[in-house]
Structures are given as C-alpha cells and as structure tokens.
Structure 1
Amino acid sequence: MDTFLKKSQVSSKSEVESFLNKVNSLTDPFPPENKGRLIFGMDATASRERSWDKACHLQSEMFTETLALGGLEVQLAYYRGFGQFHATRWISKTDQLLHEMTKVKCAGGQTQIEKLLGQALKETKIRRVQALVLIGDAFEEDIDLICHYAGKLGALGVRTFCFQEGNDPIAKSGFQQIARLTNGAYSAFDSDSVNQLKELLKAVAVYAAGGLKKLEAYSKINTGAALKLTNQIKK
C-alpha cells in the first residue's frame, strides 16, 4: 500500500518564503539562453519520507550560489509508487521549484533510475543539460542497462552527481558506476551529514551554472566537500 508524507513533514511556508524573497531580490533575472540547466532527480519512494522535507530546503539553497553566475534552470524529476515517474517544466525561480517539491508525496515502490537517465538523455538532445543530480537510497534495476544509459550521458557530456542516503552496498556500487561512466561524482550521506550534502549540492549548482572553471574557483574559497567533488570530476 502506498505510504504518503504526513502533513507535518511539508516545509513551513513562512520559514521558506522569507528565504526565497531574499534570494529573488539579490539580482535581476537572466535570459534563459544564459542559464545552465540541471536535472534534480530524486527517489520519492516510501523509504525516503523522513528526508524529503530537508531536501526541499537544500534544493532552494542551491540557487544562492548560482545567481551571480547567470542563474540556473532546474527540472525536478522523481519516481515513486508503481511505475510513477514525473518531470516538471524547467524552472528558474526558487519559489516555483519549492512549490513543486512540496506537492510531492512519497509512495512505496521500486526504483526507476532508468527512467531518470532516459529523461536526461531526452532533454539534453533538445538543449544541453550540464548536470544531473541523483539522490536516493536504493538500486533495484539491471546494472548493465543502467550502465548503458549512463554511458550515453557521458558521451553527451552530462555529468551525473550521485548522492546516496544510507549505506546499502548495492546502491553504492550502482551509484558509483553511474558517476564513473558520466565523469561525475559520488558521495554518501546520512542524517548526521546533511550539511555536507548541502555544500555538495551548492558545488554542483555552481558547476551547472558556470562550468568547471567556476567550480574550481568556488572550491578554492569553499574547501572541504566542494574541493572533494572538484577533485573527483577532474580525474
């Protein structure tokens, strides 16, 4: 039976809106052709209910690092339940993206990483996608098929940044192979390392908006997680 988010798990409107208003006042909007494009892919199956609310806040903070670089267009994509996969339109404002994320209800089901990679392939053939983020805690698919899709993304220059919640060894192996084949990066996190995930997501956003040179400059100022990510994708 599908399991859904409790009402209390949805982000606080007043808390988030004050942050978003501040972000949106920092700079004028940039034309779409100057914006980097990033697909933010999330596992919204039942096991991730507890961390979804935190993910909403982390996602909004990614934008603060990219406004001065020309901004960022983000497409939220998620899978859940029995074969359910959804991708939003391209969004360039934090309030719009957060609205989409807070509408999502987690539901029990198997992973659909194949569909997420396929979505990235489809979008980058229309207009270049600089990066794909995958946040999840499980891997329940044919590894050879996933590697085939990942290899295609790598050939098209779409780096995938895989962030694993928890320590499942099968998920770790699958996520690491996706990152390797796309020239991306992998990192694990748990409830005690949310701040590290936040810094990593900011670094990915900087890369998507400004490229490797901007990420290198960012990691010199923001050492630690950002520097580790930079070192991974430069190998």
Structure 2
Amino acid sequence: MGKSLKPASNSTEIEAFINQAKDLAVRDTNRGRLLFAMDATASRSPTWDHACRLQSEMFLASAASGQLLVQLCYYRGYREFHYTSWFDNASALLDQMNAVSCLGGHTQIGRVLEHALRENTLHPINAIVLVGDCCEESIDPLCEMAGELGLHGTPIFSFHEGNDPNGRLLFEQLARLSGGAFARFNINSANRLRELLGAAAVYATGGLKALERYAGKGNRELLALTQQLRK
C-alpha cells in the first residue's frame, strides 16, 4: 500500500492554481478526457510516492474546474495492467492511486497505447499523460500506435524520468508522432513538474489556445511545451 497522497503545497499555492484552472477551462457540454498512464514497475519505487503526490495536485486542480474526466492506467509485475473508470471526482481518483504500489516487471507501454486506441473508439480522448523511465519493448510498433493516436487528435504528453537513453528516445518519439510534447520528469523540480502536469490538464479541457493562455504568464518551459504542440 502506498503512502498517503495528500498535497504537499501550501493552501495558498493550491488555491491559486485551482483558480487558474477554473479560468482557463472551456465551458461547454463536452468535458475533456485525460488518460493518465503510469509505469509502476520496481525501477520507479524510489520516487513513486513523491511523484504521485505531485500528480495528485494536478488532479485536484483540474477536477476543480469541473471540465475534466481522468482515467488512471498503470502496469507492473508479471503482465499486470489495470485501468480505472473515468473520474470527475478527485477524491475517488486519489483513493485509487493510494492503492497502487510498485512491483517488479517489464514495461507494457504497448498495452497502454492499445487501450488508448480502444477507448478512443468509444469516447475521444483529448490527451494522454505518460510517466515512465525506461522501455523494454520494440520501439517501432509503439511509434506506429502513437502515430495512429495522432491521427485521432490524441496527443501524448510524455514525461521521462531518469537517464535511460532508450526510454528517453521512445518518449520523445511518442510525443512527436502523436503531435504531443516531451518533458523530463525530475522530482527535484517540484514546481516545474506541477506546472507541466497542470498544462496537460488545461490542454485536455481547452485545447492549444487555452494552453497558450496558461503559458502566457511568462513561464519559458510552458512556452516551449506549446511550441512542440504547434509543430
């Protein structure tokens, strides 16, 4: 059982972020859908709790806008692959995240992308956030599926943790081929991560224009993220 994922930021910071998310969300009858996929294999165990805490803050902020549905998806162990229902309630989603712990096994990024393609046939997914550190699968089939997601208008925001060169290469390719964006995932830069994850939620609810307004506050890294999405 993982540790509690209560946000670490002070209340003023979280309130400001929630208000910003409310301002940027597109108000229509079609709520955005964001698939959040996480590598829960043993290699991520040292940073798992801290990373989940940052992710929980993004969920809380995005849920406050009332415009985002989030599905949690993760893989671990021997061919374990799980996904939740679509949540619009941050507390229910965090309960699911609290129940996840890391377990040794190979990566299963292919199953994440296959699942995303199936979900897209039921209800369009506006964005995918993928967090992981390595890849033990053949890269070409994964890139082909990323390209197919791009044709469906489903960009991948890929966040790579660690220094594995094959993992970084794949995550960069997945972002490029899907029309998404790539960023390094470093828990030592908590504020940066919080903003980047929040940017993915803003994009899922309001598209590129909403993200450009979000980045227009002067954050250079968010501006770079929008530049990737424009390509």
Q: Considering the TM-score relative to the shorter chain, is it more than 0.5?
A: yes
Q: Which of 111, 114, 137 is equivalent to 2:107?
A: 111
- In structure 1, what residue type is equivalent to 2:4? S
- In structure 2, what residue type is equivalent to 1:98? L
Does 2:220 match 1:227?
A: no
Identity within the alignment, % = 48
Does 2:51 match 1:55?
A: yes
Rounded to whole Å, the distance in 1 between the matches of 2:110 and 2:54 is: 24
Rounded to whole Å, the distance in 2 between the matches of 1:139 and 1:213 is: 32
Q: 1:98 to 1:148 in 2, by over 3 A?
A: same
Q: 1:195 to 1:31 in 2, by over 3 A?
A: closer
Rounded to whole Å, the distance in 2 between the matches of 1:181 and 1:15 is: 35
Corresponding residue SS for 2:45: helix
Q: Which of 4, 13, 16 is equivalent to 1:11?
A: 4
Q: Which of 144, 150, 167 is equivalent to 2:140?
A: 144
Q: Which of 152, 156, 162 is equivalent to 2:158?
A: 162
Rounded to whole Å, the distance in 2 between the matches of 1:148 and 1:116 is: 13
2:41 corresponding residue in structure 1: 45
1:186 corresponding residue in structure 2: 182
Does 2:90 match 1:97?
A: no
Report matched runs for 1:20-99 at 5 Å: 33-63=29-59, 65-66=61-62, 70-99=66-95
Rounded to whole Å, the distance in 2 between the matches of 1:32 and 1:126 is: 20
TM-score scaled to structure 2, two decimals? 0.87
Rounded to whole Å, the distance in 2 between the matches of 1:35 and 1:131 is: 12
2:117 corresponding residue in structure 1: 121
Post-superposition CA distance 1:70-109 (Å, at most 9, x none) = 5210000000001000000000111111100010011000
Post-superposition CA distance 1:89-146 (Å, at most 9, x none) = 0001111111000100110001000000111111111111000011000111011111
| Residue-pair matches, total | 223
CA drift at 1:206: 0.3
Corresponding residue SS for 1:115: helix
Unaligned runs of 5+ in 2: none
Contact 1:38 1:130 in 2 (8 A): yes
Corresponding residue SS for 2:216: helix
- In structure 2, what residue type is equivalent to 1:83? R
Contact 2:113 2:146 in 1 (8 A): yes
- In structure 1, what residue type is equivalent to 2:137? E
Rounded to whole Å, the distance in 1 between the matches of 2:146 and 2:57 is: 27
1:203 corresponding residue in structure 2: 199
Q: Which of 127, 134, 158 is equivalent to 2:130?
A: 134
Rounded to whole Å, the distance in 1 between the matches of 2:90 and 2:65 is: 16
Post-superposition CA distance 1:167-204 (Å, at most 9, x none) = 11110111111111100011113232232221110001
- In structure 1, what residue type is equivalent to 2:88? S
My pick for the range that moved more, 98-107 or 67-76, is 67-76
CA drift at 1:67: 5.3
1:217 corresponding residue in structure 2: 213
- In structure 1, what residue type is equivalent to 2:3? V
- In structure 1, what residue type is equivalent to 2:178? T
